Amino acid sequence: MARRAIGVDLGGTNIKAGAVAEDGALLSRVAIPTRGGDGHDAVVARIVRAAEMARAEARLPWSAVAAVGVGSPGAFEGADGVVHHSPNLKDMEGKPLLRTLRRAFGRPGLPVALENDANVAAYAESWVGVGRRCRHMVLFTLGTGIGGGLVLDGEIWRGAWGAAAELGHMNLFPDGIRCACGNRGCLEAYASAPALARRLRAAVAAGQPTVLAEAVRRRQAPDARDITLAARAGDRTCRALLTETGRYLGIAVMNVLSMLNVELVVFTGGLTAAGALLLDPIRREARRRTFALAFDRARILFSRMGNDAGVIGAAGWALHRQRALPRRRTP
Ligand SMILES: [Zn+2]
């Protein structure tokens, strides 16, 4: 019988869940508010509820669910999945989330997998996205921050303590501007969505012409989306800002290609709406800087999975883990 899993994507605002078939097809889709302020126990209860709703909507009995996968911000250590560093869901930190989830589902024998959200999004790309059949790939998530996930040899690479793939904190400029992490000159401080908006303000202050100048002067806080739209409509200053962002990201691509020799680098997140205006400079800069052997056969692409990547990846990863488990053993 075809196997299905429930995938859950725990976000700072919403918990999304869906039933996913073995070929990656999404059979149901639900979303409920996270309400992280209600604390750890309430969030765990809502994760279970979202999974239950997704199962019911797909009309699957629990006996037809092979596994549950949960993608969450943060890093998780050990067999109990102790949460390290979860800035948006502070109350989860230090607690054995995976052990608690297994108990909360109350179904002994049901495999439950817990993994970092960017890691499962990377797994989704390698499973059914642009990285289909790729053994080695890297995903950059471009948003308020810059995160990432690594799939190496078909497996999520978490590193020794779950701290791998902090791609936003690779260094571009040793004495550069301050990053949210406390260091100076991180990629995130130059190529995230807020960084792009900050550079627009600097460009306007320097007198560069742009259709967004008036909005900046009136403190209407034009954001990365406004900049992308203006650039697509032909605004030269906004185009130059995207080109510059692409150069920074291209340097980061050079770093990961040089270190890991992956077949594919994928970008996802709001900034990818810029399309070729961002992708072309990324490719140009990476080509210019990377050894031919690491660059020539590598692909650099924008994701096409949209908002379901987290749910699909969490379910796919849970199925993958379940397949790897010896039969008849308690997970
Ligand atoms: Zn940083």
pLDDT digits (tens, 9 = 90+) for 171-182: 999 999 999 889
Ligand 1 midpoint to CA 224 (Å): 19
What is the average pLDDT across 130-155? 94
Contacts 24+ apart (CB under 8 A), 181-186: none
Q: Cα(170)–Cα(105) distance, rounded to whole angstroms?
A: 38
> Per-residue pLDDT tens for 253-299?
999 999 999 999 999 999 999 999 999 999 999 999 999 999 999 99
**Measuring CA to CA, how many Å separate 260 from each of 106, 121, 266?**
40, 19, 14
Measured in Å, residue 85 CA sits from the centre of ligand 1 at 14
The reported pLDDT for the residue numbered 16 is 97
pLDDT for the residue 153: 96
pLDDT band at 188 (very low <50, low <70, confident <90, very high): very high
CA of 198 to the centre of ligand 1 (A): 16
pLDDT at 91: 82
Domains for the chain: give ranges and CATH numbers: 4-123+308-324 (3.30.420.40), 135-304 (3.30.420.40)
Residue 330 pLDDT:
43
195 CA distance to ligand 1 middle (Å): 12
209 Cα: distance to centroid of ligand 1 (angstroms): 31
Q: In what order do the strands lie in the sheet with 146-152?
A: 155-156, 146-152, 137-142, 264-269, 299-302
